Structure 1
Amino acid sequence: MDIIRINELEVYAYHGVYADEREKGQFFYVNADLYVDTRKAGMTDDLNYSVNYGTVCEFIADFMKNNTYNLIETAAEQLAQALLLEFKPVKSLLLEVRKPSAPIALEFGSVSVEIVRGWHEAYIAFGSNMGDREKYIDDALAAVGKLPQIEIEAISDKIVTAPYGNVEQEDFLNGVIKVKTLLPAEELLQILQQIEQHAGRKREIHWGPRTLDLDILFYDDEIIATNNLVVPHPDMKNREFVLKPLMQIAPYKVHPVYHKTIKDMYDELR
């Protein structure tokens, strides 16, 4: 990916743990590497296909001046998110907020925080087999779509499927969405669980009936195994109700563990 680089942008702002810093202010310096595909702009000489670095600098300056945080960690985090939401061609960024006048009683050059943030691709399975199944799903997708850190890019058809496992229950309505998100995988999981809880989801019977089920199938090409989250979803290769809707929106997505496309996995399961 190409880089648009901004070095040592000087901004007078009011961030700091101490009240004196937030009242009197001090100079901060911002460095930003914006990862953008500049090929089309370079071939056409048209700024509409790139990002105007002058506009980005003004945005950074306004953001740093108009917001006040105790920590430069917070200033960097919030500025990174604001930049990614405002300038859509930016896929990711490396951002440094430098504080040369930090209140340290020693000789030093400066202190800074440097972070890397960007958009991630995720696939999320949805399902319901209690009450008004379609409404539970539609409400959940609407809730996901309202979050500024998540953009829904594709939605499969809703398909009726027989229940999975040995629990006798009603048929499910299932499908999959593709999203891009600024959230780390664990934070995305927390958001999805909150939406499930709002729909009255209760985790009482394994593979049992539920008002709403939202599962992260893929998160970029990462392999994640924590106490709360396993990605890719460990049993998806055996689930037609996952693979069939995935076939609609991502047939050639490659599973990072099995190194097979969704189409290959679906054909093998059938």
Structure 2
Amino acid sequence: MFKDTVFIKNLSATAVIGQDAWNRPTPQPIQISAKLNTDFHQASITDNLKYSLNYAVLSRNVLEYMKANEHKNFRSLGNIAESVSRILLDPKKGGGHQVEVTVKSSKSEIRADSVEYTLNRTRDGRMDGVLDELNVNGLKLLTIIGVFTFERFQKQIVNIDFSIKVSPESNVSIHELIGSVVQYVESSNFKTVEALVMKIGQLITQKNDIETIFVRVTKPNAISFTDGVGISSNMKRDSFKNMEPITTHNFLTGSTKFNLPTSNEDSDFTKKNNHIAYIAFGSNEGNQTRNINEALHYLEKAKISVVSTSSLYISKPMYYKDQPDFFNGVIKVSFKDLSPHDLWKKCKEIEYKHINRVKKFDNGPRSIDLDILLYDDIIFNTNDLIIPHKSMLERSFVLQPLCELLSPDILHPVSAEPFHHHLAQLLAAESNETLQESSNLLQIIRSTIRIRLQ
């Protein structure tokens, strides 16, 4: 067993490795690295190079070969690695007995920092049980990912690295692999990096004869003062055997609408059960306290019981600032036999039919506004209703009264962080004066809103 290593690191050469980033068979720069296992104990004792491998000679042999074949289309990095391994193992050219060769290209894939192919060979051929390795490094893509409202509207950069083990006979195309990942990720919509990593693993293994894959996803801009945060995972093909295959029909088309992925488990509810919901109310037109009391009254008439109420606050208008201040608060309600859409329809009926709200434009003045914040602990996403409310975490006039009604350990269903933590972060942040003059609230009534029943 050889215990010593002679290595060559990043030997620069030029080669045609198939199609370049613009699908042209043109020469491009590559880097060749090699590790040769040997025993140079005798060379160490005698200080005589003839008992070791001469890296200068080996490097020259490789460069001469590449220069002589710089217009040959090798068609893949793997084919170059095979050719180089034969040169480095040739005893007539001072070669060793065992070598690991890595060929790297930093120009062949326009979206990736580099792609690499690594193999291990002996003079007798392949090493038993050792597969070749294909690595894609620094694949920079744009996608919608995250749990916060601002993350749902704007794509952000993710850096992706993945590595697969392949047999020398494999016809896996690096270019096609990268193309499928680019198409999928840039059309994806995930709440978590964990889900994105898993789906990349599933996509690659289901399309190719690949048993294992390593995937790392980094979000470089998620946390300030870091180079990036993220996760990595080693996965096997068996990890996905009970999962629905990814098809092009799963890919999303571009949209500027808020879209939060949900699973069956997230949105599972039984209409016939008893339910708890939290509803935010606001008013800045007419007799505000009367509008609020009447809205609560009509909820009770619809058999939606008001369990508790927050304090009543005065807040500055948000988004459209040229309008009167709002009265705001949150109520906890209980009911039976109403789906999320049923509850939403009841709220809209109260707003427009009973309180005679007139909506002239988004975020404008209103006699009453009833927004469903939470419905049990489900995550619900449709074109007209999103639960938890998509903007609640950026509104102090929603979070502050809501937290009066929630214990400190209650978690936001999407972010998995306590609501009270979100409120503390919001209160500590500076107000965005382009959206709202001030996020400070004036408490005028402490949890004493009365329901005027008729």
Q: Distance in 2 between matches of 1:174 and 1:251?
A: 20
Among 213, 217, 225, the alignment partner of 2:381 is 225
Query: Does 1:260 find its partner at 2:417?
Result: yes
Query: Does residue 175 of structure 1 match 2:329?
Result: yes
Q: Deviation string for 1:161-202 (max 9, x for gaps)?
A: 000113410000000001112111100000000000121212
- What residue is the counterpart of 1:164 in the other structure? 318
Provide the rounded CA distance (Å) in 2 between the counterparts of 1:166 and 1:123.
Answer: 25
Q: How does 1:121-270 map to 2 (within 5 A)?
A: 121-148=276-303, 150-182=304-336, 183-197=338-352, 198-252=354-408, 253-270=410-427
Length, aligned pairs only = 155
2-structure distance, mates of 1:203, 1:188 = 20
Deviation at 1:251, TM superposition (A): 4.0
Moved more, 135-144 or 150-159: 150-159
The 5 Å alignment of 1:87-102 reads: none
> Taking structure 1 as reference, are residues 266 and 251 closer, same or farther at Cα in structure 2, changes over 3 Å only?
farther
Whose RCO is larger (CA < 8 A, sep 6+)? 1
What secondary structure does 1:117 align onto? coil
CA–CA distance in structure 2, aligned partners of residues 260 and 128 of structure 1: 29
CA contact (8 A) 2:271 2:339 kept: no
Q: Percent identity?
A: 39
| Conserved? CA contact 1:218–1:231, under 8 Å | yes
TM-score normalised according to structure 1 size: 0.55
Larger of the two Rg values belongs to structure: 2
Deviation at 1:248, TM superposition (A): 1.1
Amino acid at match of 2:404: Q
2:424 maps to amino acid: D
Aligned pair in 2 of structure 1 residues 116, 166: CA closer, same or farther (>3 Å)? Answer: closer
Which stretch shows the higher mean deviation, 221-230 or 234-243? 221-230
* CA distance in 2: counterparts of 1:247 and 1:237, whole angstroms: 11
Secondary structure of 1:174's counterpart equals: strand
Q: Distance in 1 between matches of 2:372 and 2:395?
A: 14
Name the CA distance, whole Å, in 2 between partners of 1:176 and 1:235: 15
Unaligned runs of 5+ in 1: 1-114
Looking at structure 1, the residues matched to 287 and 294 of structure 2 have their Cα atoms a distance apart, in angstroms, of: 11
Q: How far apart, in 2, do the equivalents of 1:222 and 1:174 lie?
A: 24
What residue in structure 2 maps to residue 99 of structure 1? Answer: none
Question: What letter corresponds to residue 264 of structure 1 in structure 2?
Answer: H
Change (3 A) 1:116 1:143: closer
Q: Deviations over 1:55-77 (max 9, x none)?
A: xxxxxxxxxxxxxxxxxxxxxxx
Contact 1:251 1:261 (8 Å CA) reproduced: no
Partner SS state of residue 276, structure 2: strand
The residue type equivalent to 2:366 in the other structure is: R
Mapped to 2, the partners of 1:213 and 1:188 lie a distance apart of 14
Query: Per residue, is there more helix in 1 or in 2?
Result: 1
Residues in 1 aligned to 2:425 and 2:293: alpha-carbon distance in whole angstroms: 31
How much has 1:216 moved relative to structure 2?
0.1
Shift of 1:203: 2.3
Cα RMSD between the aligned structures?
A: 1.4
